[in-house]
Copies of this chain bind each other. A is one copy, B any other.
């Protein structure tokens, strides 16, 4: 196993090393697109399954809409179109043919040009609202609460594994409501679902907030978000929930007959999280030995490594104990693997499972079994302990809970220690350069000042926290009056 770059050597390279060597993803030969490897996909499946249950238990159903958006639909909601036009993959032809000049090669058949170009969906509001037009006639058709699991494409210039890829996997909820209040309450409900998922399952503390106009989703009236802090002090937007007002209903002429028989435009929300969350997970918890995964979503929670001696009888005893332990752990709903591969040594296996972030490792040797005990190592703190085999399954179950909580608390402490209230421009710049993290500062509320701060420091307003206290003050750059602090940070 090759060595990993450490965080202090090169944070960015450390991240790539973990993704590649930890077996989460690989580069592909398509510009900006990645291959999600089995281990990374298993992690995504676990995240998806939890989210899917949360969506269904809040009344949503899944559906599937076309990958392609005809250009004329794409451009219907002007702001949305303008926001995504610069990064659209466009299908213009529907056939290849043999290259007459090079045997065995193909060229695009110029005779097979589409009458209307198709945009590969960067997001599905346009195609979905064009469909909803046919589904919504009266208030009895509302609310319409639909989610889609899908791939989307945004032709980003600079890409990073998981964090920003040209194609990514995500879910996008698209709901339709009879009233503004109901749509707003849905927007906030889904923000809460995302926050709960991030904190309970990913062990990732997040700030719930609202975006400024500059950072708003193209076509939304308001964008709500959850923002998390990474170990290098940069922020990461982990999920967004948009109140779309009646913008899409107007663009696609979706009206409903209200109870009083008047025709009204429908109110909309949309909300999404993506495979980007895996990047957040890696950067929030992992260390210089490799991935650290929260037990609740880890593809593998426990690995048992035998310490074989040459004694066949001892070996058999280890196998038996391991199999018994595997059964009793599985009986508690714990995923476990007995890594009895003969071709590698225990030390190599230890390092490999640390690299892959398996939360708990149990080593079983002949002497351990004689003493009715096992050596247990937790991945989060790398502590080792000796546990009695009596009742060990219960102890492991508790340990997994403890690891889950410890990861959350550690990340929360880190975030608290890296959230700094700042009242002068000098401090703002200094904190950003020396300590990074979230900076809580007054802002005069203008897009111009926000833009200027971004130009000067690369820091953006991550959000106006929802639980913000009212506080009189002066903008950290312009000195103009301000009524609340907002959260700044450099961000992924």
Contacts and interface: CB of A to CB of B under 8 A. Distances in A.
Interface string A63-96: 1111111110111001001100111111111111
B88 A90 contact: no
Given A38-B63, A66-B35, A71-B106, A94 B155 contact: yes
A108 B447 CA distance: 30
A160 interface: no
A42 B130 CA distance: 22
Contact of A151 (B28, B106, B118, B151): B151
Contacts of A130: 29
A92 B93 contact: yes
A284 interface: no
Given A29-B73, A68-B30, A75-B106, A86 B90 contact: no
A61 B73 contact: no
B127 A117 contact: no
Contacts of A93: 89-90, 92
A33 interface: yes
A90 to B, nearest CB: 4
A450 to B, nearest CB: 25
Contact of A35 (B38, B88, B119, B131): B131
Interface in A100-142: 104-106, 108, 117-120, 127, 130-131, 134-135, 140
A38 B128 CA distance: 13
B151 A30 contact: no
A17 interface: no
A36 B64 contact: yes
A153 interface: yes
Central interface residue in A88, A94, A105, A151, by most chain B CB within 10 Å: A94
A30 B66 contact: yes
Nearest to A145: B38
A429 interface: no
A88 B96 contact: yes
User: What size tier do the contact residues of chain A reach?
Assistant: 35 or more
A126 to B, nearest CB: 10
B64 A35 contact: yes
Central interface residue in A30, A36, A71, by most chain B CB within 10 Å: A30
Nearest to A39: B61
Nearest to A61: B38
A45 interface: yes
A26 interface: yes
A478 interface: no
Contacts of A97: 85-86
Interface in A4-63: 26, 28-30, 33-38, 41-42, 44-45, 61-63
A153 B29 CA distance: 20
B134 A26 contact: yes
Contacts of A366: none
Contacts of A71: 96, 106
A167 interface: yes
Contact of A96 (B38, B73, B90, B167): B90
A477 interface: no
A431 interface: no
Contact of A68 (B44, B127, B135, B167): B167
19 contacts: A28-B66, A28-B131, A29-B130, A30-B69, A34-B66, A42-B62, A44-B64, A67-B151, A68-B89, A71-B96, A86-B96, A87-B94, A88-B96, A89-B91, A89-B93, A90-B92, A90-B108, A92-B92, A140-B343
Which are the 8 A-B pairs with shortest beta-carbon distances?
A38-B61, A33-B66, A36-B64, A85-B96, A94-B155, A90-B93, A30-B66, A92-B92
